[in-house]
Amino acid sequence: EVQLVESGGGLVQPGGSLRLSCSASGFTFSSHAIHWVRQAPGKGLEYVSGISSNGGTTHYADSVKGRFTISRDNSKNTLYVQMNSLRLEDTAVYYCVKDWLNQGAGIFYFESWGQGTLVTVSS
Amino acid sequence: IQMTQSPSSLSASVGDRVTITCRASQGMNTWVAWYQQKPDKAPKSLIYDASKLESGVPSRFSGSASGADFTLTITSLQPEDFATYYCQQYETYPPTFGGGTKVQI
């Protein structure tokens, strides 16, 4: 069974930093692109960032480019996102999501989702 | 590609047939998925490639495509189907979601 477990969320002040982690199991982690998708309170879904299976290719939404850095450690089956210069509008539940395709940068079909971790940016 | 989803909400009864539509802002192939989200839960994938059912998803869910319009249909709505549904295109980067449809009793 695919499991994606996010951690690292919490309350942070505007301009602050936070690092989220996603621990994966139940599939060959090193074969799949993995992504972050977020959902602001009471709002819809927004793509944030993704990384290819070998970590060589990364994608960022314009709203986070230059502030967020995605990375992965295939030896630990773990995905990360370093979030800097956080803004009020970054407040959301952040979901770790497994890409359907088992190679390369994926196809951006989000087959499996973690339960999410809440990031609150507030003074 | 923008995905315009309608309606934003609907009221239905158990046993009803429900149809939700997403219209793409430009012509595209069938790289569309549908997700179901229940309150305080993560989204769950239902359909991919516009009409292919994910494993374990009941057959009362179906998807179809016609030009730029993509449709999710639920035949004979069940109590556990009351949720919010999202479409998503993955034909072009960035992947984008529709605004969601809340299916209420």
Query: What distance in Å separates the CA atoms of residue B98 and residue A46, rounded to the nearest whole number?
Result: 10
Q: Which of B31, B45, B99 sits opposite A44 (nearest CB)?
A: B99
Residue with tokens 């060589």: A56
Q: pLDDT tens for residues A56-98?
A: 999 999 999 999 999 999 999 999 999 999 999 999 999 999 9
Q: pLDDT tens for residues A30-63?
A: 999 999 999 999 999 999 999 999 999 999 999 9
Check CB contact of A44 with chain B, cutoff 8 Å. Answer: yes
Residue A103's pLDDT is what? 86
Examine the pLDDT at B56 and tell me if it is beyond 90: yes
Residue A76's pLDDT is what? 98
Q: Residue A31 phi/psi, 5° resolution?
A: -100, -10
Q: Which whole number is the average pLDDT over B95-101?
A: 98
- Around B83, how many Cα atoms within 13 Å sit in the side-chain half-sphere? 21
Q: pLDDT tens for residues B59-94?
A: 999 999 999 999 999 999 999 999 999 999 999 999
Residue with tokens 């179809």: B64
Query: What distance in Å separates the CA atoms of residue B22 and residue B31, rounded to the nearest whole number?
Result: 12
Question: Which of A34, A43, A45 is the best mutation test for B, with the most CBs of B within 10 A?
Answer: A45
Residue A104's pLDDT is what? 85
Examine the pLDDT at A106 and tell me if it is beyond 90: no
Question: Which of B31, B38, B52, B90 is the best mutation test for A, with the most CBs of A within 10 A?
Answer: B90
Distances (CA, A) of A28 to A37, A58, A73, A97, B24: 21, 19, 13, 14, 33
Sign of CA pseudo-dihedral B97, B101, B102, B103 = negative
For residue B28, name the pLDDT band (cuts at 50, 70, 90). confident
Sign of CA pseudo-dihedral A78, A84, A110, A4 = positive
Q: Which of A59, A109, A113 sits opposite B42 (nearest CB)?
A: A113
Q: How many residues does chain B have?
A: 105
Check CB contact of B34 with chain A, cutoff 8 Å. Answer: no
Residue A116's pLDDT is what? 98
Contact A71, A82 (CB under 8 A): yes
Query: What distance in Å separates the CA atoms of residue A117 and residue A22, rounded to the nearest whole number?
Result: 10
Examine the pLDDT at A102 and tell me if it is beyond 90: no
Residue A80's pLDDT is what? 98
Query: What distance in Å separates the CA atoms of residue A77 and residue A28, rounded to the nearest whole number?
Result: 9
Residue B33's pLDDT is what? 98
Examine the pLDDT at A118 and tell me if it is beyond 90: yes
